[in-house]
Structure 1
């Protein structure tokens, strides 16, 4: 791909982390980038989720965050607990933990200069306004993508209340970044033979608790450590992430926990968990915001009392707004291609491959794409070389996630607990 002789008009489909990261790196090259985000609000809602900030994510923030906002809490030790809460294994392992909402607001500050409580005003003023223009256009759900001569045609409709949501409009672009996630409609449209998103057989209950609200016994295993508990059909883990408005001040941060729980998607239990208190059924996630049916949450809290080490049970019982994500798989495109429309569009982020969360690699994948794609635009690497690297990463991590998840939820983890039962009987049925 030869370097462009003029600034390109680029449309990015999807305004979450992958779309933002890629848009920032392309805007910095001097191109004009518009993000089409289907959410009807100017800012995406806080996902309430922690992120393990891997090397690519840190590299992206180091290279592109002009606000230089501190973003991570270090974790120096990985711990494994038994049912009684005793540490049965420890290993030195430096990792950096952040939060979805902090990274999102850092990216918005760098893409289109959005002000927020997450970014100090003097830090926001550092964000470079050189390069191309950046526009975040919310309330635009893309419904079509096709070639139109030398350009790509993006068709969309409004999702904003009060606007005509049946009226489909078209915009032309020189290039399109497809970042609409693991349920990517554009990938299904343009690569229909590629595998679709599938349920892996278990859910992830999630939540956060203020660091100030946990007991000294919990502090001992959670603060700046990465503890796990395994039993048959169960894995739970936790780590400290930035607190409200991204604060890293000790005592004001949050403890983020993730509890994997096997559930058949045809069961009454699955339907109950994925139906919110307003009666709406959700396919892939029950979002935060006090949406869980009270009886469902009471059942899970009782399971926490019965099945988890006391430190983990404490986190679950003190969580006020739990949410749930279905653990899913999305294999890379079967034809090995991430370039679409004869090179006028490219898949990025989870639309390339959806990893199980055990890999902690979803944000890293987005960052990798944002770091490497500018090299293609500058003519430093070919599209084929880029595709090879992207697909290699996707295949390795997608396979690794399946292996980790299946061992954790359907096999025997080396630090798993049988609650003293040498037969390894399922403790959830005791």
Structure 2
């Protein structure tokens, strides 16, 4: 049950060393752990996945201003994070450019971002970062990463702090005590579900078809059309976009990069088409994400046929050439609050608000939330400022994503309308003016 937070000094502003227990070891949890240990506090990440390292996702990320700011502030690896796109362009069905604007944007991959964050948090060595920095240099707190810890519940301790109870895949049970519990466990957050059981993650009626094609495997015509470009196509009930991202082991050199695509296509809830695209080669029906390598070949062949019939030739080539495509159901979720139990439990990133991917803001939200929460813990911003900025961003961008998705997938608008939507979504966060309804506490 949600408990109103009393007006009192928050944990962390009394200048003592704290232990933060972070539920979720993906980008948001790692970002929070890095920011908090940089202040000298200890952080323990509880990641539910049974493997010690999360599987590569093969997904592209538009590295917005807050993502770049986070790495500028905290990254100690010194390796490149992103490749640059010089132009945003729109194609017609024949593949001709019908609108273009020169604007620089940075693009990265989930895989590279994850491994760089792990290198910074707990010193994980990988092909992406073979020689990571020391995880706990002088002045930093202790960083602990525990996998195979599925949190099932938590309790406020009578003597202070919060205890998170977990279970392993083998059935072993245990608990971890911390001063503050941070829910950074994604749109299907267990922490949020325990606090706000009435808040449900809901399907939006369409899916994102995703994947990559090695730059070197694309035809010369497709490379000329898409490389160093952020490319869009809109048609009735469909939006498709593509951009370059770092390649294997985070390679950013021309010829070694990947062309990343995202295509939004409508699959009505409960329809046989939705069931087919979310049922893997193992016969298992997924609810939200069909991971790379598990897509049923027959189901994906249907999507290839759709791409050839519906998309401009360069985008169709990339979709049809993807070797490890995956599918994500587009969903909505938003928590009414980000702070509970007097600040002893907080929600960050996707656990607070799951954005539709049209916003290209989920990773930026994780980075922003981690930086601002660390500033709050350090006493650099007030509680009201932290809450208003975090909730303002969450509520405003979440609603923007819903509006963009509904217009893209369910309204047949002039291209100029979709261009305007994208231009607005590209506004830097610090230039946004959040309305009163978004920042209300």
What TM-score do you get using the length of structure 1 for normalisation?
0.92
Equivalence for 2:436 = none
2:329 is the alignment partner of 1:320 = no
Equivalent residue for 1:21, pick from 10, 22, 31: 31
2:137 is the alignment partner of 1:129 = yes
Does the CA-based 8 Å contact 1:81-1:87 persist in structure 2? yes
1:235 Cα deviation (Å)?
0.7
Equivalence for 2:407 = 407
SS of 2:224's partner is helix
Equivalence for 1:84 = 94
Q: Distance in 1 between the 2:279 and 2:88 partners?
A: 35
Equivalence for 1:141 = 150
2:309 is the alignment partner of 1:299 = no
Consecutive aligned runs of 4 or more in structure 1 exceeding 6 Å deviation: none
Equivalent residue for 1:213, pick from 209, 212, 217: 217
Equivalence for 1:35 = 45
Equivalence for 2:184 = 179
1:415 Cα deviation (Å)?
2.1
Equivalence for 2:371 = 371
Equivalence for 1:423 = none
Q: Distance in 2 between the 1:211 and 1:372 partners?
A: 37
Does the CA-based 8 Å contact 2:188-2:351 persist in structure 1? yes
1:360 Cα deviation (Å)?
0.4
Q: Deviations over 1:68-88 (max 9, x none)?
A: 210111111111111111111
Equivalence for 1:113 = 123
Unmatched segments (≥5 aa) in structure 1: 418-430
Equivalent residue for 1:155, pick from 159, 162, 165: 165
Q: Distance in 2 between the 1:14 and 1:136 partners?
A: 10
Q: Deviations over 1:11-42 (max 9, x none)?
A: 10000000000000101111111100000011
1:382 Cα deviation (Å)?
2.1
2:243 is the alignment partner of 1:233 = no
Aligned length: 405
Q: Distance in 2 between the 1:413 and 1:230 partners?
A: 9
What TM-score do you get using the length of structure 2 for normalisation?
0.89
Q: Deviations over 1:383-420 (max 9, x none)?
A: 22211110000111011111111111111243289xxx
Equivalence for 1:347 = 347
Does the CA-based 8 Å contact 2:120-2:133 persist in structure 1? no
Unmatched segments (≥5 aa) in structure 2: 1-9, 418-441
Equivalence for 2:433 = none
2:283 is the alignment partner of 1:279 = yes
Q: Distance in 2 between the 1:133 and 1:125 partners?
A: 14
2:249 is the alignment partner of 1:245 = yes
Does the CA-based 8 Å contact 1:41-1:139 persist in structure 2? yes
Q: Distance in 1 between the 2:244 and 2:136 partners?
A: 31
Does the CA-based 8 Å contact 2:135-2:143 persist in structure 1? no
1:171 Cα deviation (Å)?
2.1
1:168 Cα deviation (Å)?
3.0
Q: Distance in 1 between the 2:413 and 2:322 partners?
A: 27
Q: Distance in 1 between the 2:223 and 2:197 partners?
A: 49
Q: Deviations over 1:178-232 (max 9, x none)?
A: 1111011211111224x31111110011010000011121112211101111100
SS of 1:330's partner is strand
Q: Distance in 2 between the 1:97 and 1:412 partners?
A: 29
